[in-house]
Amino acid sequence: MTVEPGLAPLVKRVVVPVGVERAFEVFTAEMSAWWPLPSHSVGEDTAREVRFEGAVGGRIVEYGDDGELASWGTVSDWDPPKSVSFTWHPGSDPQQAGHVTVTFTPVVGGAEVALVHSGWERRPDGARARTGYDTGWDYVLGHYVTFWR
Amino acid sequence: MGTYGSLQAAGPVLDALGDPTRRVILDTLRRGGPSSVTALAEQVPVSRPAISQHLKVLGAVGLVQHEARGTRNIYRLHRAGLGELRDWLDQFWGDALDAYADHIRRTEVREDEPPTTGRRTKEERG
């Protein structure tokens, strides 16, 4: 069994009693209908709506009474009804975004929705070398995990 | 870690970790153990005031702790900081997915068609 060099991705799963098409649609286009905005938002009690723009490059945007409040991330992969990926940086620097992938798999009785948050480490864009003083935070964090175990 | 659930709660930790110099400081503390600003300045190529400032940021988000030893402060890793971040994210996504599944069960499942296993799944919408 391979041990991740960085922090292991966070994985959450849930099965919903609808087909994958509907599960995907509710998760994305109808996000505002179910997302727990008062507790899971930047504006908290001033947050009114969240819109998931369904296309590569689309954003996930939180709106308040006066319009756009915060951008939570940007869609990097859009493959309905199988999967969607987006960067994730609510309330923090977009340069340090995490990465979330949600996959929708048909199972008996409905669809399994699996969410993987792998954005702990800096994304290995362009094979950034771990040289000099930029050690890469996956490296640093990996050691933290080792410490805890 | 601030208000549980707020999307901003994890932001400061992630931002703090986003800076390369701060990662070097953390890594230096990890490898070398507890250290003073002076000792850190010998290993990290930034000024002592800059290191102090970075340590302040890391301390504010719970990644570094310090104790006074004589006239100096000795800094050390506070490993619980990242554990809290992970726990927070775990609960954050758990709550969000629960809300999603609850919503679907409440609004999508028809009374004449309970979602028991083995039944034909009927797609109501294209």
For residues B26-58, one letter each, b for 16 or more C-beta atoms within 10 angstroms of the residue's C-beta and e for the rest, the string is bbbbbeeeebbbebbbeebeeeeeebeebbebb
CA distances from B87 to A23, A25, A37, A93, B72 (A): 26, 28, 20, 21, 33
Cβ pair B100:A27 closer than 8 A: yes
**Higher-pLDDT residue of B91, A18:** A18
Q: Which residues of A touch B51 (CB under 8 A)?
A: none
Q: In angstroms, rounded to a whole number, what is the distance separating the alpha carbons of residues A116 and B17?
A: 20
Whether A4 maps to a domain, the answer reads no
Whether A100 maps to a domain, the answer reads yes
**Higher-pLDDT residue of A96, A132:** A96
Q: What is the mean pLDDT of residues A97-125?
A: 79
Whether A90 maps to a domain, the answer reads yes
Instruction: Report the residue of B14, B24, B105 to disrupt the A interface, i.e. the one with the largest count of A CBs within 10 Å.
Output: B14
Q: What is the mean pLDDT of residues B81-85?
A: 71
What is the predicted pLDDT for the residue at B110? 63
Give the domain range for residue A29: 10-148
- Compute the mean pLDDT over every residue in chain A, rounded to the nearest whole number: 76
Q: In angstroms, rounded to a whole number, what is the distance separating the alpha carbons of residues A61 and A50?
A: 5
Instruction: Report the residue of B7, B58, B91, B116 to disrupt the A interface, i.e. the one with the largest count of A CBs within 10 Å.
Output: B7
Q: What is the CATH number of the domain that holds A97?
A: 3.30.530.20
Tally of domains within chain A: 1
**pLDDT higher than 80, residue B119:** no
**Higher-pLDDT residue of A29, B116:** A29
Whether A141 maps to a domain, the answer reads yes
Q: Which residue segments constitute the domains of chain B, with CATH numbers given?
A: 11-80 (1.10.10.10)
Whether A2 maps to a domain, the answer reads no
pTM exceeds 0.95 for this model: no
What is the predicted pLDDT for the residue at A101? 93
Residue among B17, B99, B126 minimizing CB distance to A137: B17
Whether A1 maps to a domain, the answer reads no
Q: Which residues of B touch A98 (CB under 8 A)?
A: 14
| Cβ of residue A126 closer than 8 Å to a chain B Cβ | no
Whether A88 maps to a domain, the answer reads yes
Here the ipTM equals 0.75
Give the number of beta-carbon pairs within 8 Å between A and B.
158
- Compute the mean pLDDT over every residue in chain B, rounded to the nearest whole number: 79
What is the residue type of B44? V
In this predicted model, what pLDDT tens digit does every residue of B7-30 receive, in sequence order?
666 667 767 877 778 888 988 887
Structure tokens at B46: 């930034």
Cβ pair A16:B105 closer than 8 A: yes
Whether A93 maps to a domain, the answer reads yes
**Higher-pLDDT residue of B112, A24:** A24
